[in-house]
Structure 1
Amino acid sequence: MIDKQILAHAAECAPQESCGFVIDTGTGQHYMPCQNIADRPTEYFEISPDDWLRAQTAGEVVALVHSHPDGLPVLSECDRAGQRRTALPWWLVCGTEIYRFNNVPPLLGRQFEHGVLDCLTLLRDAYHLAGINLPDYSREDEWWKKGQDLYLDLLGPNGFYKVTDAQPGDVILICLGSEKANHAAIYCGDQYVLHHCSQRLSKRDIYSGFWFNYTHSIWRYRQWPQYGFTAICNDMAASSSLMY
């Protein structure tokens, strides 16, 4: 029911972007449509302070909703910056589909915490922004020394296949002090990768030297969308604008 209301509101507002909130009032979730008060509502959306107050007093705000009538089904750079300010999941209407994006931490500049914010988390969050949800699993410190092969167990059964030449969005597995693949990076093109090493901030690095020499394998998601890496770039652009 709530999905039908959201889709109907988006269709009614097109070609302008629709906007609204999903509210939990204690008796269930409800959609609260809002007016887009942006100066250029076909290009972006803005919700009035009155509508924010109305949503917050109606119950718990579960998600912010808006549409991309003629755009891609991913959050834009501006969307990602806005999502961080609201600290909410954002639901995006594109065509007749609703895409749900959690408020994942910025891909760049993350503090490392094994099993919480590490190279696997970075991979999962980057792919989530591209509309692909990969499973999570608990992992011990130095699991690769305990007979486990977690990356190979993850990628093959979840729609990835091996390739020889990297394209943006591909996953590069690397051996760090081990014969097993125990580190993952996302290829960004132009010999750069996005990754998160132990005790370091997540960052872009040049894919050469050590990283290249200790590459284990390269994997591509079989149903990788053409706009997938655009979603990752939008997040990194939003991160960079906030960091400097």
Structure 2
Amino acid sequence: MRKHIIAAIQSHAAAEYPKECCGLVLAVGRAQKYFPCRNIATEPNEEFLLDPEDYAAAEDLGEVIGIVHSHPDATSRPSSRDLAMCEATALPWHILSWPEGDLRTITPTGSTPLLKRPFVHGVQDCFAVVRDFYMRAMGIELPNYQRTDGWWESAENASLYEQHYKAAGFEQVDSPQRGDMIVMEVGRTAHPNHAGIYLGTNPTLPGEESAVFGPGPFVLHHLYGRPSEVIVYGGPWLQRTRLILRHKEAR
């Protein structure tokens, strides 16, 4: 990274300390510049949320080629969310520890494993693993509905699965086959709020090495606060099932 951009990032981090600063690296013609943005997170000392109006203003000036934020009183080591968001944005992320001053860059790999991915709500969660499976296994791109914190405990969750599955190309079936979406009800809720992929007796995942999980049948899912995993589909999971959905293009 060019020296004048590093200096601008350091100056921004110092001005915002002890809050996290955030900004964008832009390509403006042949030149590059740092575009400082507002951090509108509820807890800016702990995380950042880049103001979308600032992002739009930056795009009017040039091409966004990197995302920047600081880690106050911490190392530049990326968090699980940093890694997940780097993949989601498909852009390099530059992380500055402050006041230490260490700058680290992480780059997207282009593919997050379906298995053992950390949970990051809205980015790497149960619906995300479903979307990624459909794209990798069948080439089907599902809509990416916005998920706000706590949706799974309120009536709002109905809009994600119960109200949207038909528009997303799914129809309800009575018995599952490999690739179907299993929609379940977990925790204290009156609506289905969790989903996984029915794998049948073959736990192999697209692009990943197969493993022995037991006799099956299996479901790939991603519970809140836990790594994504393949489980045996039976017992309480079968009892929690509320919908079995098959995509029209998967027939």
Normalization by structure 1: what TM-score? 0.49
Normalized per residue, the structure richer in helix is: 1
Higher RCO (C-alpha under 8 Å, 6+ residues apart): 1
Normalization by structure 2: what TM-score? 0.48
